[in-house]
Structure 1
Amino acid sequence: MCFLLFNLYGIGGTIRSTVNLSGALADAGHDVEIVSMIRSRAAPALPVHPRVRIVPLVEARADRPGFDPAHDPKGNPSRVYPACDGPYKRCSALVDTRIEEYLRDTDADVIIGTRPGINVYLARFGPARALLVGQEHLTHDMHRPEVRAAQNAAVAHLDAFVTVSRQDARIYREALPDVTTEIRCIPNAVPQPDVSPSSGRNKLVVAAGRLIRIKNYRLLIDAFARVVEQRPDWRLRLYGRGPEARALRSRIHELGLCEQVTMMGAHAPIEPEWAKGSIAAVSSDGESFGMTIVEAMHAGLPVVATDCPFGPGEIISDGVDGLLVQPGNAEEFAAALLALIADDERRAAMAAAARAKALDYAPSAIAHAYVKLFEDLVAKTGKCCAPPEARKKLTGAHALGGYAGIAGQARALRAGKALARRMARPLLQQPVTAGPLLGVLRKVAPAAAARADGTARKLRPEARCAVADDGALVLTFPAAGLTGPADLVLRRRNSAEELRVPLPPPVREGRGGPYRVRLRLARVPLAEGHWEAWVRRRADGALRPVRSTMVERAALVGRAPDVADGAVRSWIPYATDGGRLALRVWQRAAHAEAVWVAVGPSVTYVEAELLGAEPAAEAVVTATRRGARPTVLRLPATELGAGRFCVLLPHEDFTGRVAGSAPLDREFWDLRLVLPGGMAVRIGRIGGDIVARKDIDTHPSAFRGEGAARARVRPYFTDANDLALVAAPAPAPDTAAVHAAAPRCAHLRNG
């Protein structure tokens, strides 16, 4: 069987659902592939089951081998894909041709479309001999009328149409009373993640999803403003990206919530981030299903959600595993959050119930529901039929139903013919396969050389990485990836420094058990910087980087830097963009951890805790302007007790030099606490679980002056997580230009 996605290489909910379901069907013994209309990056952002084939049809990257200039969505747009459906602007006539060719040549018994435009393709080009199944990942009423009309017309030509909520299935049946297509609800598959569930101890509410208007994150932010009035020790993290990001950030700044509400950006995988929280929040005005609800439940979080159409009320049992509140009511949403915040026992009981509820959506259960649908369609349509002697059900782990046997035999009967078709596939599709083929050819020579010099091909160190409650780093390596005694090697980036840690014997010696190492980094003198993890096998010296796509840092949330042996240290493990395990380390003789930053009309207030040194009444904060001839401002620091101090940074001290300058004449000021005796201590944020705060812990700009003399100043965190200020010219916007652009902007919004 095959799934048709527009772009497998993103991280949206439809992609996650397809990856989860395809993997479960592959685990059950089915032959599965995912066809991606376009290819936008080298590899999928989400891990795909190793037995699921990936078939990209059109290379969308103009600088990559295999790109065909005929893929020109503007100059040569699709003639089939509905112009009203979102991906149309990335769809070309070449995509039309490739999908038509694929559907003509495929030997798949079941073909599943995953969005309206693809369902149109499936209805037009799908082979009559196969089961054609469309999926609805939104709802009937969420689509614009023209999208709805295009998909409704396509549904009549499909064998089945699957919605993710029962209510939406009823709406489709009522809207299409004359079609014979089987319309059925099957929820999305959401796997149980291989991460430890939430401890429930972190004072953190988590929300995740695309930042679009229907998610109504503004309501959540407004509700949380009410929460912090009573519980200022709690925080909200919002994960995701989308067109509403700027407006939401502005709302956070407007309400003065910069220190309580954090926009985290997009994260994949998201599962370790859920486990950092104690409560999940869903504030949508509409949810077709609610994958984030089930993901949060898997992580052991009770969910506070609006009882919006359609998904939340079908997933959450109000008062048992979560709370449902009236949509659009910020006051009621805040009250529900406060009720769980105030009652640890109730929150823990709901968390346990939520984990149990989430198992209903396990991929194996959803795969079984799909197989049942396929069996029913075989009986109804007579498609995918094999001779009576071939109708043998699979057994054991592959026994998901009679369809598996029928489909498998049908594939076998057509295998020879399909092979011939694939070998004779038109040259039109060659550009897509040329890139991967060349990649394979390029890898042949290095692999042969590796075998010749004794470097084992089987050294593939992949580690599950987690931070223990005491701050220790725990790495678990499957034995299959190491094949013998080895050492963990930490290498400091852009340096020759290296630390070797012997890996202990497997946990279950002689049984193929994992290797596990526990690093108490408080006792390891790692210099400040980024350290990369490698494994070196002792037998032949083979050296490979450690890969780890799942890094658990829940124990670091709110954790202060470690102070011991005359040093202040902090360490945060993370996975690089390439999936390699790395470690961000800070080590300083003393450090001032910023606990509060607030921007007022004329001053910025900074409060910090001094670590590794004693505060003194004579201490001052210096602001040093970077450049060939630095300027130093000295500002008094006020002791607050318990090692804390505060400082006021007058904006006029920083904006006077840039007022009236060219727009790019920015000045950057580094902050230090200077103690008696001259010791300069950095002020920043190195504690907690966030590796890079520059684009996450953001604060608004303050403005001074008028007209051409107008300037702005804003605190920010550097790449090293040190606190600094930036001052820049900020002339008033051209009012006439703004009015002239208004009609064009309105057109863009409407289009």
Structure 2
Amino acid sequence: MCFLLFNLYGIGGTIRSTVNLSGALAEAGHDVEIVSMIRTRSAPALPVHPRVRVVPLVEARRDQPGFDPAHDPKGNPSRVYPACDGPYRLCSALVDERIERHLSGTDADVIIGTRPGINVYLAHFGPARALLVGQEHLTHDMHRPDIRRAQNAAVAHLDAFVTVSRQDARIYREALPDVATEIRCIPNAVPQPDVSPSTGRNKLVVAAGRLIRIKNYRLLIDAFARVVEQRPDWKLRLYGRGPEARALRARIHELGLCEQVIMMGAHAPIEPEWAKGSIAAVSSDGESFGMTIVEAMHAGLPVVATDCPFGPGEIISNGVDGLLVQPGNADEFAAALLNLIADDERRSALAAAARAKALNYAPSAIAHAYVKLFEDLAARTGKGCGSPGTREKPHGAHALSGRAGAASGSRLLRAGRELAGRAVRPLLQRPATAGPLLGLVRRISPAAAARADGTARKLRPVARCAAAEDGALELTFPAKGLAGPADLVLRRRNSAEEIRVPLPPPAREGRGGPYRTRLRLPRMPLAEGHWEVWVRRRADGAQRHVRTPMVERAALVGRAPEVTADAVRSWIPYATDSGRLVLRVWRRGAHAEAVWVAVGPSVTYVEAELLGAVLTPDAVVTATRRGDRPTVLRLPATELGAGRFCCLLPHEDFTGRVAGTSPRDREFWDLRLALPDGMAVRIGRIGGDIVARKDIDSHPSAYRGEGAARARVRPYFTDSNDLALVTAPAPAPDVAPAHPAVPGSAPLQGAGDLPAGGGA
């Protein structure tokens, strides 16, 4: 069977659902491929099952060898793909040509389209002998009228049309009463992740999804403002990106929630992030299904969701495995969150029920529902499983000439060509690995001979990685990836420092069991910096970076830096964009952990806890301007007890030097706590589970002066997670935005955003 996606190489709910379902069907023994209309990166962003073939049709990257200049969406746009559907702007006539050619030659018995424009392609180019199935990943009413018309016309030429909610299937049947196409609800497949479920102990609410209007995250932010009035110890993390990001951040600043509501950006994979929370929140005005709801349930989180059309009410049993509230009601949403926050026992019971409910959406169960659909269609139409079948194709302005000729010809000939292509294509695409072919023209090297008899198998150190409650780092390697005794090697970037840790024998000696190890980081002499993790095999000295599909850091949420007799230390494991495992380590003689930062119209308030040293009454906070001739300001530090102190940073002390200069001129000020013994202690945030806070812990700007003398100041965290200030000239705005309050003061006016800049 064949799935048609516009761009498999992106990240989104439709892509994730297709990857999940195709993998389950392949696991069940079906021959599955995913055809991507365009290719925008070298490999899919989401992992595809190894038995699923990936077939990109058009290379969209101009700098790649396979790029064809005929792919010109502006100069040579698609003649078939509906202009009203979003991907049209990336679609060319070359895509039309390639998809028609592929579908005319495919031997797939079932072809599945995944969005309106692709369902139009399927109606035009789908082979008559195959079962043609369209999917709806939104809803009938979520589409604009022109998209609805295009897709509704295509549905009549398909064998089946699948929605992800029962309510939407009913709406489609009512909208298309004269269509013979089978319209059926089959929800999305959501796999149970290989992640430890939430403990329910972190005081954290998690929400995730595209930052778009229909998700109504403003409602969630407003509701959480009511929550923190009663429970200021709880926080909300919002994962995702989208066009509403700027407005949402402004709302957070306006309500003074910078320390309680954190915009985390996009995360993939998202599963470890769900497990950090204790409650999930969905505030949408409409949900076609609610994949994030099931993902959160898998992670052991009860979900508080608006009872909006269509998905939440079909997934959540109110009061059993989650709570449903009236859409658009921030007070009711806040009350539901507070109900679960206050009742640990009820929250735990709902979480257990949620995990059980999520199993209904396992890919194997959804794959079974699709197979049942295919069997029902085959029995009714006589199509599929290679039977010829007939279907009248649509005609009109978008129908390409020569369609009948393209669809005709010997199916055996087409199948033979495709089989030959599948055999030869990997050799053409990857000549360096075509060992049997190269062996015909040259002798086998000794190294190749050694690999052939298994004496030097390739080292593939891919590990499951999790931070433990006691601060250790737990790593699990499959034995086949190491192929013999090996050592773990930690190397600090930009340094010759290296630490070797012997890996213990496999857990099941002699039976191919996994290698497991615990790095007791508190006992290791790791200097501050980024430590890359490698594996070195003892037999031949082969070494490779350790790669990990995800890093579980739920145990680090809210974790304070460790204080020992000689240092203050913290460490956070993370994976790079390429999947390499790295440890971010901080090690300092003393450190001041920032507890609270708030920006007022004339001062910035900083509260911190001193670790590894004794706070004295004559300690001061210094602000040092970077540059060839640094300026140092000394500001009083007020003791608050238990090692805590606060400081007020008057904005007029920082902005006078940049007033009237070029808008590009900025000044950066590093903050330190100066102790009488001469120690300068960094103020920052090194505890917890967030590796880089620079773009996450965001605070608004404050403005000083008028006209050409106007300037702005903003606190931010550097690349080392140290607290600093940036100042810059600021043109007068049309309207001064609202400003959050310093704790204990009246609401303040006159703040805005300053683009992130500077930082060491």
Q: TM-score by structure 1 length?
A: 0.91
Preserved CA contact (<8 Å) 1:17 1:189: yes
Q: Do 2:2 and 2:32's aligned partners in 1 also have CA atoms closer than 8 Å?
A: yes
* Structure 1 CA distance for aligned equivalents of residues 450 and 639 of structure 2: 64
Q: Do 1:66 and 1:433's aligned partners in 2 also have CA atoms closer than 8 Å?
A: no
Gap change, CA 1:415 and 1:336, over 3 Å in 2: farther
1:538 deviation in Å? 0.7
The residue that corresponds to 1:393 in the other structure is none
Residue 496 of structure 2 is aligned to residue 521 of structure 1: no
Per-residue CA shift, 1:701-741, capped at 9, x if unaligned?
00111111111000000011010010000011479xxxxxx
User: Residues 207-606 of structure 1: matches in 2 within 5 Å?
Assistant: 207-385=207-385, 417-421=414-418, 423=420, 436-437=429-430, 451=448, 456-606=456-606
- Matches of 1:435 and 1:37, distance apart in 2: 21
Secondary structure of 1:197's aligned partner: coil
5+ residue gaps, structure 1, are 388-412, 736-751
Counterpart residue identity of residue 242, structure 2 = G
Mean CA deviation greater in 448-457 or 624-633: 448-457
Aligned to 2:617: 617
> Residues 282 and 415 from structure 1, CA distance in 2 versus in 1: closer, same or farther, beyond 3 angstroms?
farther
Query: Does 1:122 find its partner at 2:119?
Result: no
Whether the 8 Å CA contact 2:474–2:518 is kept in 1: the answer is yes
What residue in structure 2 maps to residue 395 of structure 1? Answer: none
SS where residue 111 of structure 1 aligns? strand
User: Does 1:40 pair with 2:40?
Assistant: yes
1:73 is aligned to 73
- Please name the residue that 1:738 is paired with: none
| Higher percent of residues as helix | 1
Correspondences of 1:144-183 after superposition (within 5 Å) = 144-183=144-183
Whether the 8 Å contact between 1:186 and 1:366 is mirrored in structure 2 is yes
Provide closer, same or farther for how the CA distance between residues 598 and 510 of structure 1 changes in structure 2, counting only shifts above 3 A.
Answer: same
In structure 2, relative to structure 1, the CA distance for the partners of 1:626 and 1:452 (3 Å cut) is farther
Q: Which letter maps to 2:182?
A: E
- What are the Cα deviations for residues 363-387 of structure 1, in whole angstroms up to 9, with x where unaligned? 0000000000000010011012469
Distance 1:284 1:438, change over 3 A: farther
Q: Distance in 2 between matches of 1:386 and 1:145?
A: 37
Name which of structure 1's ranges 581-590 and 292-301 shifts more when overlaid on structure 2.
Answer: 581-590
CA-atom RMSD in angstroms: 2.0
Could you tell me which amino acid in structure 2 is paired with residue 29 of structure 1? G
Structure 1: how far apart are the matches of 2:144 and 2:413? 44
1:420 corresponds to which letter in structure 2? Answer: R
Instruction: Report the Cα offset of residue 511 of structure 1.
Output: 2.0
Q: How far does residue 457 in structure 1 lie from its aligned partner after superposition?
A: 3.8
Asked whether the equivalents of residues 272 and 550 of structure 2 are also in contact (C-alpha less than 8 Å), the reply is yes
Cα distance in 2, alignment partners of residues 337 and 448 from structure 1 = 66
- Tell me the amino acid that sits aligned with residue 193 of structure 2: P
1:64 maps to what in 2? 64
Partner of 1:134: 134
CA distance in 2, matches of 1:157, 1:638: 75
Contact 1:65 1:435 in 2 (8 A): no
Displaced runs of 4 or more, over 6 A? 413-416, 432-435, 441-445, 452-455
Name the residue aligned to 1:204.
Answer: 204
1:190 corresponds in structure 2 to: 190
The amino acid of 1:607's aligned partner reads: E
Structure 1 residue 659 corresponds to structure 2 residue 656: no
C-alpha displacement of 1:214 = 0.2
Deviation at 1:599, TM superposition (A): 0.4
Q: Deviations over 1:190-235 (max 9, x none)?
A: 0000000000000000000000000000000000000000000000
Distance 2:604 2:210 in 1: 32
> In the alignment, is the contact (CA less than 8 A) between 2:605 and 2:646 conserved in 1?
yes
Separation in structure 2 between the aligned mates of residue 415 and residue 734 of structure 1, nearest angstrom? 70
* Superposed displacement of residue 337, structure 1: 0.1
| Alpha-carbon distance between aligned partners in 2 of 1:152 and 1:627, rounded to the nearest angstrom | 64
1:629 corresponds to: 629
**Alignment deviations for residues 631-654 of structure 1 (CA, whole Å, 9 cap, x no partner):** 111111111111111111111111
Indicate if the aligned counterparts of 1:65 and 1:434 stay in contact, CA closer than 8 A.
no
Q: Name the residue aligned to 1:397.
A: none
Structure 1 residues 734 and 601: CA distance shift in structure 2, 3 A: closer
Q: In structure 1, what is the equivalent of residue 49 of structure 2?
A: 49
Q: Deviations over 1:156-181 (max 9, x none)?
A: 00000000000000000000010110
Q: One-letter code of the match for 2:702?
A: A
Alpha-carbon separation, structure 2, partners of 1:490 and 1:341: 41
Q: Partner letter of residue 9 of structure 2?
A: Y
- CA deviation vs aligned residue, 1:129-187 (integer Å, no higher than 9, x gap): 11100000000000000000000000000000000000000000000010110000000
Partner of 1:406: none
Say if 1:65 and 1:662 are closer, same or farther in 2 by CA, change over 3 A: same
Distance 2:411 2:212 in 1: 46
Q: Which moved more, 1:283-292 or 1:54-63?
A: 54-63
Give the distance between the partners of 1:440 and 1:665, measured in 2 at CA. 53
Closer, same or farther in 2 for the Cα pair 1:436/1:242, shift >3 Å?
farther
Paired residue secondary structure (1:140): coil
User: Sequence identity of aligned pairs in percent?
Assistant: 85
Aligned mates of 2:428, 2:470 — CA distance in 1: 47
Q: Which amino acid aligns with 2:658?
A: V
Gap change, CA 1:414 and 1:104, over 3 Å in 2: closer
* Distance 1:141-1:678 versus aligned 2 partners, 3 A rule: same
Deviation at 1:416, TM superposition (A): 6.9
Checking the alignment, whether the CA contact within 8 Å between 1:162 and 1:169 is kept in structure 2 is yes
| Equivalent AA in structure 1 for residue 587 of structure 2 | Q
Residue-by-residue CA offset, 1:1-29 (whole Å, 9 max, x unaligned):
11100111111000000000000001000
Corresponding residue of 1:709: 709
Distance 1:424 1:231 in 2: 63
State the distance in 2 between where 1:449 and 1:554 align: 48
Give the deviation of 1:458 after TM superposition: 2.9
Q: CA deviation at 1:94?
A: 1.0
Please name the residue that 1:407 is paired with.
none
3-state SS in 2 of match to 1:584: strand
Alpha carbons 1:70, 1:94 under 8 Å: kept: yes
- Would the alpha carbon gap of residues 540 and 585 (structure 1) be closer, same or farther in structure 2, given more than 3 Å must change? same
For 1:418, the aligned partner's letter is A
- Tell me, in whole angstroms, the C-alpha distance in 2 between the residues paired with 1:461 and 1:698: 37
Equivalent position amino acid for 1:525 in 2: P
Q: Which amino acid aligns with 1:244?
A: E
For 1:658 and 1:439, the matched residues in 2 are separated by 58
Change (3 A) 1:385 1:557: closer
CA contact (8 A) 2:109 2:386 kept: no
How far does residue 271 in structure 1 lie from its aligned partner after superposition? 0.2
Instruction: Give yes or no for contact 1:456–1:542 (8 Å, CA) kept in 2.
Output: no
Check the 8 A contact 2:130/2:386 in 1, yes or no.
no
How far the C-alpha of 1:421 sits from its partner, in A, is 4.4
* Inter-partner Cα distance in structure 2 for 1:438 and 1:267: 35
Mapped to 2, the partners of 1:103 and 1:646 lie a distance apart of 68
> Residue in 2 aligned with 1:3?
3
Aligned residues: 704
2:746 matched to which residue of 1?
Answer: none
Aligned counterparts of 2:414 and 2:578: Cα–Cα separation in 1: 40
Alpha-carbon deviation of 1:448?
A: 6.5
The alpha carbon displacement at 1:439 in A equals: 7.0
